[in-house]
Structure 1
Amino acid sequence: PAQLLHQTPAADHADSSVQVQPKSSAIVQRKSYVPASKGEYIITKLDDLINWARRSSLWPMTFGLACCAVEMMHMAAPRYDMDRFGVVFRASPRQADVMIVAGTLTNKMAPALRKFLLSNLPVSCSCANGGGYYHYSYSVVRGCDRIVPVDIYVPGCPPTAEALLYGILQLQKKIKREKKLQIWYRK
């Protein structure tokens, strides 16, 4: 029998009551991809394995240009402990696969940023997004996305360690959704 809501004790009729509808979940489930052959199944699982390895070992380069770098150091400290997510800061661009641009980017620093990019995934903090406090200065680049493509934008001046942590977690989700081998296999 259906569960009734707002039923009065004297109500004999079903029309004086409202039936309770089951709550729909807030999370909409996506239809999962069903591979058509064994080859597609192997490629899908290999893609998942590669994405798991990439997202579980993000090594950002410390590219601190201003006060945002202090929050980046705060994020690496024991309170937030980014090592538990596989994030280990590197000083060399050859060892890094993520670049966190933290601080105001000047015109003289822009070529160095472009040089370091190579195959990194840039995460941009607020001052690097739009120039920050020095937005109207002649020497400031008004957004590092004019120099390099940016994957994740982190708001705040300076952004809190929680915001930067959230940005890193969003980058991990973005990496998890990549399907490079599946796209290559279908060509």
Structure 2
Amino acid sequence: MLQLISELASRSPWIYRINAGSCNGCDVEMATTALIPRYDVERLGCKYCGSPRHADVVLISGPLTLRVRDKVLRVYNEIPHPKVTVAVGVCPVSGGCFRDGYSVGADIDHYIPLDVIVPGCPPRPQAIMEGVLKAVGIWRTRLEEGVCSHS
């Protein structure tokens, strides 16, 4: 047990959130997973960070709007490898209710590979927690495969 705790503490995944033009419904639910003890992601060994350069897991919400596309891609490229991308809600995957809007371009997966999809509009905090747990599993597998995290 002590060995497991020391392994988790030595390299816990950090989470970074990107809003790609959402209505903020998903962002409110992601904040719930960060602030309310019942859904606290820190129980999974994760911690939200304020810089993409420290992140291991990125949560993306909203359709990729034309106005923020270049900024989102620039921030995404600042995240070191191995990184795991979680689409939160239906908007990153299909555009959701904004799909045919004048300000929405192609789906996010045309620009950024999605590893985990958390469906819902907005998804419930339990679903976001499950998505983060899957992402952590993928991230740990990539670490074990020898992909350098900070190269």
Q: TM-score range by the shorter chain?
A: 0.7 to 0.9
Aligned mate of 2:66, from 90, 93, 107: 107
State how far apart, in whole Å, the 2-side matches of 1:160 and 1:146 are.
26
- Runs (5+) with no aligned partner, structure 1: 1-48
State how far apart, in whole Å, the 1-side matches of 2:51 and 2:103 are.
26
State how far apart, in whole Å, the 2-side matches of 1:141 and 1:53 are.
39
Tell me, what secondary structure is at the counterpart of 1:139?
coil
**Structure with bigger RCO (C-alpha 8 Å, 6+ apart):** 2
Residue 85 of structure 2 corresponds to 122
State how far apart, in whole Å, the 2-side matches of 1:129 and 1:147 are.
11
Normalised by the length of structure 2, the TM-score is: 0.76
* Paired residues for 1:21-40 under 5 Å: none
Amino acid across the alignment from 2:94: G
Residue 145 of structure 2 corresponds to 180
Q: How far does residue 80 in structure 1 lie from its aligned partner after superposition? A: 0.7
1:23-77 deviations in Å (ceiling 9; x for gaps): xxxxxxxxxxxxxxxxxxxxxxxxxx9xx659x6221112234211001001112
Q: How far does residue 144 in structure 1 lie from its aligned partner after superposition? A: 0.9
State how far apart, in whole Å, the 2-side matches of 1:147 and 1:157 are.
22
Aligned mate of 2:51, from 92, 108, 117: 92
Please give the root-mean-square deviation of Cα atoms over the aligned residues, in Å.
2.4
Normalised by the length of structure 1, the TM-score is: 0.62
- Runs (5+) with no aligned partner, structure 2: none
Q: How far does residue 154 in structure 1 lie from its aligned partner after superposition? A: 0.9
* The structure with more radius of gyration: 1
Residue 63 of structure 1 corresponds to 18
Amino acid across the alignment from 1:80: Y
Count of residue correspondences: 132
Matched, 1:154 2:127: no
Q: Percent identity?
A: 32
Whether the 8 Å CA contact 1:105–1:140 is kept in 2: the answer is: yes
